[in-house]
Structure 1
């Protein structure tokens, strides 16, 4: 049995979770200190994945059951590459804890992304709009296929974009004050999505020419690889993260649910390809002034230059890893060689 994991940080946490479950009696969200995953950067309590924030629910028990079975695998494929998340990969391979639990061999074979997608009529208009914009000038704002914001937060985001006076593409989805992943269960509603009904009054008209509002969906791969795209405000899902880095696009991290908070922390603090806005104390939302500041900084400030440079470095290493003789190429080649010479086949 071979298992597939998206990233190394989450793999390290999954390997450690059964031990954490045995050693800790209280809810993890009640711990006074961050969770120290062996050999890795500690995970802040607020960044723990949604699946482990309540140990009494069936989802946690199901996750724990499968994480307990990970050491039974003959190998683990990772949709990542050697130069990305170096510390966690080194820990999994060398730290005594992972040797003690007999961690299977780990094979980074990524980044594996969707390299192309058919363009709808609306998608083609989006790309045509990008064609008219200057190099690295557009902020792409998209929170994944299921991500939604509250009414208050979407209003602040729209005002922040407008105040920044930067070019943008906003994938607009009807807000909800319920679950941040609510759109996964409301796909029919997207078919009648009218952004004018919930964006600030006059927003679309005032930003016409500077901004483009796309209802529900945009051709993400085509946007990220376009020369006019300068940054990506993202929910930090792993597929979106890999697509952004593969095309050398820095990020504004806006995690919503699941393991996205862990991904965001790693991208900001360890990898250096993202920045994260601060939520107003006691406000419950990221305010428009902070969004304006963050967008300006990423698109035209020194901080933006730094993370853009790092993103370009990783774009190159990601490409090299997949090429003949690269780390991911060789990793997969070794697995194939083992399988084809095994007596069990």
Structure 2
């Protein structure tokens, strides 16, 4: 007897593909079903050339097919944003996905797309598959997305000009500073695409979201039960998080872990602003000086300052040239600067790590929360601004800058103060945020125990899709 077959379609970019792959691995392992992932690529490089992708694919049991890239230059303006290009790439790739499905000997019964892939859902209708959306972010983000079409109708002018936070039924109100860039210019095509995504998510058969009941119970309840919101969000919402990359053993000597092994428990601040987290030369200098002023040990995965973006990307010396003169010498022993890719999940799992200065991408947030590591929020783009607000004002596991780092250079004194607020043993705020982070860690583990909220939610979804034997 053939196992049930589920199809996942991933939008271009590591930030979309890796969460879809991790979801596929979870579905395959927990439900013992066949999972096929169709990866829509940008065409710039093969998936197998990316170490992070190779690792996720090798560890899982999904069947991964890299789809041929489809040109979109005739459909987008030369200055189109990344968001618009991803949406158009998904739209242009629909015939390729249709052909891939037709060639399968065992037709899938369920299709899952991420929120940028809702244009693909008509394919599921055509071939008789159930269609679901996977939101690899949190429930508040989902609520704002599906309510955006309502805001589009009732709000006049640009959201950025509105002084008071905007009401989201049953949920935390959203301020202009929390919205993605794609929502801030209503004359731009990417805003239209964003509104369309918000309209299409509720016409799926349901939504899987990468959060859990203990973390966002009120928001999840609003999506399901609030009278006004339920008229917008008309389909079931399944909280199945946290779904993240799991630890992998370090097979060979690694200088990072050799250094961490010499540090005290919970004494090191991990600093990493994501694969796209490049700062200006001035901000890099201020961040470095702030780390030094804090007096705390740190491990910094340093990206090239934006002043050097035109230079060779393989020149590590050029990266460290962006640091203040003498910084590496003065911090030798208490700090380690790394200019290559670093295994983040394994680093956050190390007992020496006591805090994380992060760009607040949701995957990084979950990797930190599941290890009980509090966060200095340093949001840069996309929904990271919203994530930082959620972490500081609602969950209580983070501290943040007084203004968005995108609006001004964050000075060294503020950096040092923020670091001490989560790292200094004598700091009362640090003790509170650490305790909350540990509470969240425990709840994240409980969600995925047998009978836990996320485990049960996934089984409920699988039963509805007739995937359980």
Query: TM-score, with normalisation over the residues of structure 1?
Result: 0.91
Q: Do the aligned partners of residues 101 and 244 (structure 1) sit closer, same or farther apart at CA in structure 2, a change above 3 Å counting? A: same
Shift of 1:208: 0.6
Distance in 2 of aligned mates of 1:280 and 1:172: 20
* Equivalent residue, structure 1, for 2:360: 236
Question: Where do residues 37-186 of structure 1 align in structure 2 (5 Å cutoff)?
Answer: 37-117=168-248, 124-176=254-306
CA contact (8 A) 2:224 2:233 kept: no
Identify the structure with bigger relative contact order (alpha carbons < 8 Å, sequence gap 6+). Answer: 1
1:206 corresponds to which of 318, 330, 346: 330
SS of the residue aligned with 1:67? helix
Determine helix, strand or coil for the equivalent of 1:331.
helix
Q: What does residue range 268-307 of structure 1 map to in structure 2 within 5 Å?
A: 268-279=392-403, 284-300=408-424, 301-307=427-433
Once the two structures are superposed, residues 167-189 of structure 1 have per-residue CA deviations (whole angstroms, 9 ceiling, x without a partner) of 000111111169xxxx8xx8x94
CA distance in 2, matches of 1:59, 1:249: 35
The range that moved more, 58-67 or 240-249, is 58-67
The match for 1:33 is 164
1:190/1:216 contact within 8 Å kept: no
1:280 CA drift (Å): 10
1:324 is matched with 450
Map of 2:387 onto structure 1 = 263
CA contact (8 A) 2:145 2:197 kept: no
Q: Alignment partner of 1:83: what SS? A: helix
**Distance (Å, rounded) in 2 between the aligned partners of 1:320 and 1:3:** 25
- Judge conservation of contact 2:144–2:168 (CA < 8 Å) in 1: yes
What do you get for the CA RMSD once the two structures are aligned?
A: 2.3
Of 350, 365, 382, the residue aligned with 1:226 is: 350
Contact 2:170 2:229 in 1 (8 A): no
Between Structure 1 and Structure 2, whose CA radius of gyration is higher? 2
> Does residue 253 of structure 1 match 2:383?
no
**Counterpart secondary structure, 2:350:** coil
- Structure 2 vs 1, CA of residues 137 and 156 (structure 1 numbering), >3 Å: closer, same or farther? same
Determine helix, strand or coil for the equivalent of 1:85. Answer: helix
**CA–CA distance in structure 2, aligned partners of residues 330 and 229 of structure 1:** 32
Q: Which residue of 2 aligns with 1:191?
A: 314
Offset at 1:200? Answer: 0.5
SS of corresponding position for 2:271: strand
Q: How far apart are 1:87 and its partner, in Å?
A: 2.2
Query: Is residue 71–residue 104 contact of structure 1 (8 Å, CA) maintained in 2?
Result: yes
Structure 2 unaligned blocks of 5 or more: 1-130
The 3-state SS of whatever aligns with 1:227 is: coil
CA contact 1:280–1:287 (8 Å) conserved in 2: no
Please report how far the alpha carbon of residue 101 of structure 1 lies from its aligned counterpart in structure 2 after TM superposition: 2.3
Q: 1:217 Cα shift?
A: 2.6
Distance 2:204 2:328 in 1: 52
Per-residue deviation, 1:62: 1.3
SS at match of 2:170: coil
Other structure's SS at 2:215 match = coil
**Please, which moves more after superposition, 306-315 or 98-107?**
98-107
Name the counterpart of 1:310.
436
Which residue in 2 is equivalent to 1:333?
A: 459
Corresponding residue to 2:339 among 208, 212, 215: 215
Distance in 1 between residues matched to 2:418 and 2:134, nearest whole Å: 35
